[in-house]
Every structure is written in structure tokens, then in C-alpha cells.
Amino acid sequence: MATDREAVVWTRSGTAPVRMGRFVVTDTECRYTYDSSYLDNGLPGLGILYDPTFIGENTITWKRSQYFDLLPQLQTLIPPTSEGNFQRQLILSWLQQQNKTPEQGFDSDWAILMAGGHGGIGHIDVFENDDQASEWYSDTRTQELFTINEDLGFSLKDFMTWFDNSAEALIEALGPTPSVGGAIPKLLLSIPDSGWDGRIALPTRCAVADRTDIVVKFEKPTYPGIVELEALTLQLHAEAGFEVPRYWTAEINAMPVIAIERYDRDPNGKPLFTESLYSVMATGDSRVTHHYSSNYDDIGRVIERSPIPIVSDPQEAKHHLLKRLIMSFATGNGDLHMENLSLIQRDGQTLFSPVYDPTPMRAYSRHDMLSVMPFGNYGELDNKDQPIGFEAALVHLAKNMGFSRNTLRLIVSEVLEHTASYPQQIRQLQTLPKENQENLIRITTLVRDILNGLM
Ligand SMILES: Nc1ncnc2c1ncn2[C@@H]1O[C@H](COP(=O)(O)OP(=O)(O)OP(=O)(O)O)[C@@H](O)[C@H]1O
Ligand SMILES: [Mg+2]
């Protein structure tokens, strides 16, 4: 016998925290309904395709699948089991301290969502009920900054090498932290607005002067040098004209970390609407079951033609996407999947978020692939039974996205110009092993030569 589960969705993207709606999970469905009082307040909804003005009081019904128990916008608040378990472990250890040990599977997912589904990335906060929401929002004390000490650093390090599965020291110091997805262990924290100085606090819950929210990503021993690589490619993206959040690299007890300012908060710490492209695409198409199960051509089409507009300026968004992809080719990042692309709403516009996670994963042999998602029928057979090459596929993609060959050339030349010193910059990295340096240089030189041929 199954019992239906219920929870509420709140947001503090307006002037004060307000309830957005509620949802029920049955054995077969997830059903979400906006509060009628929420519909006309002009605040963002659950997701781009679930705009409150379109949905109204109609209940959204989502058929549960092996990929999504919940609507994609809610599912994304639960760190997936498959992607390492740092965040899950953190919350499960905290639950254990409260004498709660949920069963594996959906029981655990639900418990994690109730404990860590608020105060995280984006504008959506999930709570068990309204009382818990009110209680949580009413705690507007400024979280105390404290200096990361050896103890915390040490237990974190243990945690990361998987020798020690208890997150006790971290939890004692910080309490439960809101959850965040992804493969690399990371924490949501806040730091002085002036920048990283070794002092951290829990994320803000309201406007706090002189404080900014950050994501901290820890370098896993399996990816030596990844922090430096992420910093370098963030810098290159900024130089190539992309909006890039502020970031700082540091060490916590000999463990490299990168702290990146949150793009889903405005300067006053207020949450901005954000949704990953994965969530948008999965909402619109049940065949999208993984963060890579689409292709850039289709994404371009969706941006152009979705009956419910996905972005305010489709032309600009497609240009951004194409340039990001070419930038990822030139820097050796085959990992530009739909969870590494997000939309935000800012100043009444919906657009791609600032750049995050541009890390050139091809530096690590097990991630050495040109692209995690197909583009321009690359590698497929053409009408002469010849596999379509990189150059032809890129031209094809640009065409599918509605760009002339000349526009493609302009983008490619810009990307090549801003990444011209990449090999030298890679050689200057202190922590990326020589072998990975040489591999990345070899791989990207090859790709850049082909890109040059397009000119
Ligand atoms: N600066 C930021 N502001 C707000 N949210 C962020 C920021 N950086 C990352 N995120 C969110 O956290 C998620 C995970 O971060 P990120 O993609 O950097 O690491 P990762 O997913 O662990 O790496 P990988 O994609 O290699 O698995 C992102 O998908 C995004 O939703
Ligand atoms: Mg990512």
C-alpha cells in the first residue's frame, strides 16, 4: 500500500516569501497546482513551460517514470544517486542525527528533498508544509562567518577520499546545507562581498549587506588540476565576451577549491528564476531522459519555435549557444550538456545564464570526447556513405540554427582569437599533471586546426 505524499512550493523571488503552490506524489503521478493567489502576482513560475499565466489553476500532471519521479523542476532539487553521493551523504548524515533513516530509493529522495530542497540553486523552495516554510524564512539572522579551520578541512578531505563516510564535523560546523547537483563535491555557502578571504558562512536567506552567495567546488583526487582548469576556462570565456561570475581559487588544507559567485541571486541576494536546459527540454519532450539526450540542432529549433517562448531573444540565444559550443571545442570541453546550460530571468528578460562549468574535461582521458551531444549529424553517413566530418557538421549545425556561413566564420575567428595562447596557458598550470597538459594541448591543437580551416 502506498501513501500519497504532499509538499508545498514557496519562493522568495518577490518582496517577501510567498507560497507558489503545492504538489502531490501518488504511485503513478506527480501533480502540481498553483495557488490562485499566486497566478497574477507577476512572479516567475515553476518552469519556463509552466508559466503561471498559461497554466492558471489547472493541475499539472506528470506521469512518474524511471527517470523522473517528479516534475523536472522539482526533481532537479534532489542530487541524483548516480552522480557521486557527497550531497546526498551530507543530508542523509544530518537526517541520521535526527534519528531519521529513510529507505533507499524514493523514500530517501523524498527525505532529502524535504531537508535540502530549499535555499538552494534557483528560486524554488520546497517544504513539507507551510509551517516549516514560515519557520525557515523567519530565521533571518545573519549567518555567522567563520574561518575554515584545520578540523573542518581535514574531515572534508577524508570525506572526499571516501575513507570516512561521516560528515559530522561539517554538519556540526554548518548545519545542513542546501543541496546542489552535479558530479563534483560542492557546497553552497556565502562569503564577504569583497571576495574570498578564507571565511565562510551558510547561504543567505534574505538581503544581507556585504555578503555574497557562492558555490564552492572541491577538487577530487581523481581529477588533479581541475580547479585550475576551470578557473582558466572561466577567464577565457570572459575574454571571449561571455558573462562570467566572479570566482576565486583557494586551498582548504591542501585541497584545491574554486569558489564561484552565484548567478541565480541579484545584487541584493534575491533569487532569480533559473532553470536548466535539461529541465526545459524534459518538460517539453518525454524522450529527453538524460542531460545529454538531445542535440544542439534540436535545441536551436526549440529556442526558435517553441509555442511558449523559451527566451526573450531567440536569435541572441542561438548565437550564444553556437558560440559556447565552438568555445567548448576550442578549449577541449566535450561536456557542454543540458545541465551545464541554464536560463535565467533578469530585468524582465529570459536569457542564457552566465557561464558555469566550462571545464575542459578532455584533459582527463575518460572524458576525452569531442561532444557529449550530437551536432550537425557529425559522424553519421552522408548520401555517399561517407561519415560526416567535424567541419561539415559544424557548417550543417550553423545552417540548422539559421546562421550564415559568414556568421559561423565570425564566431570561429573570435573564438580562435581569444584562445590563441591556450597551449602556453595550459603549460603554466601548476597542478595539472604534465601528461594531462600535453594531451589537452594535442587535442585542442587538432580541433583548432580544423576550425582554422573553416576560415
Ligand atoms: N555560479 C553558479 N551560480 C548558480 N548556480 C550554479 C553556479 N555554478 C553551478 N551552479 C549550479 O550547480 C550545478 C552543478 O555545478 P557545475 O555544473 O559547476 O558542477 P558539476 O555539475 O559537478 O560538474 P559536471 O557537469 O562535470 O558534473 C549546475 O548545474 C548549476 O545548476
Ligand atoms: Mg555541471
Cα–Cα distance, 32 to 9 (Å, whole number): 9
Contact between 344 and 364 (Cβ < 8 Å): no
Domain membership flag for residue 50: yes
365 and 226 in a common domain: no
Query: Helices (DSSP H) in 162-245: which residue ranges?
Result: 168-174, 226-239
Looking at the chain, the whole-number percentage of residues with pLDDT higher than 70 is 91
The answer to whether 69 and 30 are in contact (CB under 8 A) is: yes
- Beta 5-11 vs 247-252: how paired, if at all? unpaired
140: pLDDT confidence band, cut at 50, 70 and 90?
Answer: confident
How many A from CA of 359 to the centre of ligand 2? Answer: 9
Measure 356 CA to ligand 2 centroid, in angstroms.
8
Q: Is the CB–ligand 1 distance for residue 206 below 6 Å? A: no
Residue 424 maps to which CATH number? Answer: 1.10.1070.20
Is the Cβ atom of 245 under 6 angstroms away from ligand 1? Answer: yes
357 backbone φψ class: left, alpha, beta (φ>0; ψ -120 to 50): left
Q: Looking at the domain assignment, is residue 209 inside a domain? A: yes
Q: What is the pLDDT of residues 148-183, one digit of tens each?
A: 765 554 444 433 432 233 345 455 545 455 555 555
Does residue 262 have its Cβ closer than 6 Å to ligand 1? yes
| CA dist list (Å): 319 to 149, 274, 300, 352, 404 | 45, 20, 9, 11, 11
- Residue ending a domain, among 108, 134, 160, is 134
Residue 393, CA distances (Å) to 37, 256, 291, 300, 343 in order:
49, 38, 22, 15, 26
Report how far residue 448's alpha carbon sits from residue 441's, in angstroms, rounded to the nearest whole number: 10
Question: Which residue puts its alpha carbon closest to atom 14 of ligand 1?
Answer: 182
pLDDT category at 221 given cuts 50, 70, 90 is confident
Answer yes or no: is 226 within a domain: yes
Phi, psi of 417 (to 5 degrees): -60, -45
104 and 151 part of one domain:
no
- Indicate whether residue 230 lines ligand 1 (CB < 6 A): no
Q: Using a 6 Å cutoff on CB, does residue 272 contact ligand 1? A: no
Element at 205 (helix H, strand E) = none
Examine the domain organization and report whether 125 and 216 are in the same domain: no
Determine the residue of 83, 85, 121 to mutate for testing ligand 1's pocket, defined as the one with the most ligand atoms within 8 A of the Cβ atom: 121
Residues ≥6 apart with Cβ < 8 Å to 248: 195, 196, 258, 259
Q: DSSP per residue over 349-369, as a string?
A: EEEEPPP-----GGGSGGG--
Alpha carbon distance 181, 279 (integer Å) = 13
- Tell me the Cα Rg of the chain: 22
**What domain count does the chain have?**
3
381 CA distance to ligand 2 centroid (A)? 31
What is the rounded CA–CA span in Å between residue 281 and residue 279?
A: 6
pLDDT (0 to 100) of residue 2: 75
Which among 181, 14, 212 has a CA at the least distance from the CA of 91?
181
Roughly how many angstroms between the first and final C-alpha of the chain, as a whole number?
Answer: 64
Give me ligand 2 centre to Cα 386, in Å.
Answer: 34
**Residue 355 falls inside a structural domain:** yes
pLDDT at 271: 96
C-beta 120 within 6 A of ligand 1 = no
**Residue 281 within any structural domain of the chain:** no
With cut-offs at 50, 70 and 90, classify the pLDDT of residue 184. Answer: low
In this prediction, residue 83 has a pLDDT band, given cuts at 50, 70 and 90, of low
pLDDT over 90, % of the chain:
75
Asked whether residue 166 falls in the same domain as residue 195, the answer is yes
CATH of the domain at 218: 3.30.200
**Which of 134, 156, 172 is a domain's end point?**
134
Say yes or no: 98 and 167 in one domain.
no
Same domain, 360 and 392: yes
Average pLDDT, the chain: 90
The better pLDDT of the pair 2, 212 is held by: 212
User: Can you give the pTM of this predicted structure?
Assistant: 0.93
Clarify whether residues 327 and 407 are in a common domain.
yes
Same domain, 111 and 25: yes
For ligand 2, the distance from its centroid to the CA atom of residue 337, given in whole angstroms, is 8
pLDDT in tens, 236-265: 999 999 999 999 999 876 789 999 999 999
In a domain, 266, yes or no: no
> Comparing 204 with 311, which gets the higher pLDDT?
311
Yes or no: say if 208 and 190 are a contact pair by the CB < 8 Å rule.
Answer: yes
Whole-number Å distance, alpha carbon 358 to ligand 1 midpoint, is 10
Helix or strand (DSSP H, E) at 119: none
* Tens-digit pLDDT profile for residues 344-396: 999 999 999 999 999 999 999 999 999 999 999 999 999 999 999 999 999 99
CA distance 312 to 2: 43
Last residue of a domain, one of 134, 159, 178: 134
Residue 206 forms part of a structural domain:
yes
The yes-or-no verdict on residue 89 having pLDDT over 50 is yes
157 and 126: one domain? no
Rounded Cα distance between 319 and 434, Å, is 35
User: Is the CB of 246 within 6 Å of ligand 1?
Assistant: no
Domain assignment present for residue 393? The answer is yes
Judgement on whether residues 126 and 164 belong to the same structural domain of the protein = no
Query: Residues 312, 443: one domain?
Result: yes
Q: What is the pLDDT of residue 143?
A: 72
Question: Do 200 and 191 touch, CB atoms closer than 8 A?
Answer: yes
Domain range spanning residue 38? 5-134
Q: In this structure, are 441 and 304 located in the same domain?
A: yes
Q: What is the pLDDT of residue 81?
A: 80
Q: Whose CA is nearest to atom 11 of ligand 1?
A: 121
